[in-house]
Amino acid sequence: MTQPRIAFLGLGLMGSGMAGRLLAAGFPLAVFNRNAAKARPLVEAGARLATSPRDAAKHADVVISMVADDVASRALWLGENGALAGVPRGAVLIECSTLTVDWVKELASLAAARGCELLDAPVTGSRAPAAAGQLSFFVGGDISTLEKVRAVFAPMAKSLTHVGPTGSGALVKLINNFLCGVQVAALADAVALIEKAGLNRDQVLPIFTEGTPGSTLMKLLAPRMTARDYTPNFSLKLLTKDLGYALQEGEKHSVELATTAAALKVFQRAIAAGLGDQDMSAVVELLRKKTE
């Protein structure tokens, strides 16, 4: 495809950055978001503001969705004003949200019935990488479909990995996120224990973040926990949703995912404590309160 027309659905922390990259790369872009005010910077930069997902998709060669969960994804794609009702035959649909495998497969079937092809292509990265075009995509679906739209991914992607048939991208993302969730909960436990025990946090914490237990995620989140800066990059409630989806997938395959279940309980308590809209690193505040 040469400069395909793109419809972008969902302009949250991630979607706004992704859509901005596509617009800056010169792709004709229509955008839709439930809160139209979030679309204003993109519209001022040249995007068309659509009145509904159907309106956004009606002339699109590629439709990209980036929303919170299965419920939001269904609302965008289905119904009289959903994108599937307006998308032309032959379009490629790219679902970048973190969703259940079952819904992704259902959506692929619905897309095929409309004469379209679907790629499930969730991402790793947060707000800043999205704005910088440094996301990593895990793509499920037909490799030939991916090749048709590889140029569309280019402005948004640091890496692009085809991981298997439809649903594979969704499953890889859920595995990625439950590994992250377990690490976040463990790091929060460590910070709370270091502080309660009276250790020199600034001296001791780098032993773990820079040593064998350390990871890119721990290095990223430890400063947020110590500074108590919970400006959302990836919200606690979204991570909690992902852990729940991962447990469902584990049950389907008779895998217990016991550490994921334990981490999920911690995050659920953090949401009940009012931390859900903050960055996932805010879970440490729940543990701090329990030790005060």
What domain range includes position 142? 6-165
Q: How many angstroms separate the CA atoms of 141 and 121, rounded?
A: 9
The answer to pTM > 0.85 is: yes
Whether residues 158 and 45 share a domain: the answer is yes
What length is written for the chain?
292
* Same domain assignment for residues 244 and 146: no
Q: Of the candidates 139, 165, 191, which is a domain's last residue?
A: 165
Q: Are residues 154 and 201 in the same domain?
A: no
Residues 200, 278, single domain; the answer is yes
Is 198 found in the same domain as 161? no
pLDDT of 289: 86
Q: Note the helical H segments in the chain.
A: 15-24, 40-44, 53-57, 70-77, 83-86, 101-113, 127-132, 143-153, 168-196, 201-209, 216-227, 236-252, 258-272, 283-291
Quick: pLDDT tens for 21-48: 999 999 999 999 999 999 999 999 999 9
Question: Residues 181, 232: one domain?
Answer: yes
Of 113, 135, 165, which closes a domain? 165
93, 118 Cβ separation under 8 angstroms: yes
Of the two residues 292 and 271, the one the predictor is more confident about is 271
For 225, half-sphere exposure in the C-beta direction (CA atoms, 13 angstrom radius) is: 30
Q: Band of the pLDDT at 67, cuts 50, 70, 90? A: very high
Q: Which of the following is catalytic: 173, 241, 289, 290?
A: 173
**Mean pLDDT value across the chain:** 97
Domain boundary (121, 139, 165) is at: 165
Mean pLDDT, rounded, for 124-139: 96
Are 28 and 92 contained in the same domain? yes
The CATH number assigned to the domain holding 214 equals 1.10.1040.10
Per-residue pLDDT reduced to its tens digit, 170-191: 999 999 999 999 999 999 999 9
> To the nearest whole percent, how much of the chain has pLDDT over 70?
98
Does residue 1 sit within a domain? no
CATH of the domain at 161: 3.40.50.720
Mean pLDDT confidence for 83-110: 98
pLDDT digits (tens, 9 = 90+) for 220-276: 999 999 999 999 999 999 999 999 999 999 999 999 999 999 999 999 999 999 999
**Number of folded domains in the chain?**
2
What pLDDT score does 1 carry? 47
- 149 and 50 belong to one structural domain: yes
The pLDDT, as a whole number, for residue 60 is 98
Judge whether residue 292 has pLDDT over 60.
no
- Does the annotation count 105 as an active-site position? no
